Amino acid sequence: MSGAGIEAKPKPQPFADPGHKRLYMFGGVMLILLGICELFANLISFLPQNNGWASPPGVSAETFINTLAHARGAYLSWGLFTICDFLFVPAIVAIYFAFKSINRDALLVGLLLLFMTAVLDAAVAEVGFFSATSLAVSWAGATDPALKAAYFVAAQNMVMLTEFAFPYSFAGSFAGLAVVSAVMRKGWKWLGRIGVVLFTFFCLSSVLFMLPGTTFMGAFIPLGIFWLFVFGVAAGFRLFRLGMKKG
């Protein structure tokens, strides 16, 4: 049989546009740093002596505000969360250009959810967290009873604002990453598949946490944060390698 009639199989085309290699490398590094910063920021804020997200069960408001006023890691946690919001931008841009050829519309939906979450974090959660900590410090140092009472009420209100915002923040992040993971399955099969399952589960856990009678689901949020760290490092590493490829 002559080889003239045999058609060569077409070479599979890369899913990512090879014209943005530097962007992939930079975005990959930012994504790795994002995962690391997110992990440490939450670890610091969840520690009993630095708790800035939610009042511990059975602890009075005065005890909690006093704890927040003397939390050594409170400002560090706030700073790391702020850095995370800035790291989100180049990471989102790099992911968009890497995967837009697979499903541009779905990718835009997922990235829009992530962007809106970053805005919510910066405008509400982090402003509330920083304000609550600053007001608690002022409350601890005030000597005038009226001024002390005003600082206490204001700090309480800021804590409530932060508590209100953080489950929505987590739910939005996990939902956006679930959609992005679904698009990633075409290029990064296993990372995308695992991401879809876990991010969907953690998104539902965050939503149920906000409903009466199902607040126990909040126990899964720390696991979601750890998975966010693993996913960020793994996806960032693969994105960086994508930029290193020749051709």
Q: What is the token pair recorded at 212?
A: 């009466």
Mean pLDDT within 90-108: 90
**pLDDT computed for residue 140 by the predictor:** 82
The pLDDT assigned to 127 comes to 82
**3-state secondary structure (DSSP) of residue 145:** helix
pLDDT of residue 35: 92
pTM: 0.79
Residue 54 belongs to a domain: no
* Two structure tokens written together for 32: 């790795």
* Average confidence score pLDDT of the chain: 80
Q: Is residue 40 one of the residues assigned to a domain? A: yes
* 212 belongs to a structural domain: yes
For residue 5, being part of any structural domain is answered with no
Whether residue 207 contacts residue 6, with contact meaning beta carbons closer than 8 Å, is answered with no
Q: How high is the pLDDT of residue 58?
A: 45
Asked if the model's pLDDT at residue 119 lies above 70, the reply is: yes
pLDDT at 192 over 60: yes
Question: 120 vs 10, which has greater pLDDT?
Answer: 120
Alpha-carbon gap, residue 156 to 162, rounded angstroms: 10
Section 152-173 average pLDDT: 82
Q: What is the pLDDT of residue 85?
A: 81
* Residue 45 vs residues 79, 151, 182, 196, 234: alpha-carbon distances, Å: 11, 21, 30, 27, 24
Length of the chain: 247
**Extended beta strands in 81-209, E state:** none
Q: How far apart are CA 52 and CA 59, in angstroms?
A: 13
Element (H, E) at 38: helix 21-46
Of 34, 39, 31, the closest CA to residue 99 belongs to 31
Q: How many domains does the chain have?
A: 1
C-alpha–C-alpha distance, residues 52 and 43, integer Å: 11
Give domain status of residue 4, yes or no: no
Give domain status of residue 7, yes or no: no
Residue 11 lies in a domain: no
38: containing domain: 18-48+59-244
Q: Is residue 1 part of a domain?
A: no
Output the pLDDT for position 215.
64
| Euclidean distance between CA atoms 224 and 219, whole angstroms | 10
Share of the chain above pLDDT 90, in %: 23
Measured distance CA(121)–CA(163) in Å, rounded: 12
CA distance 65 to 183: 44
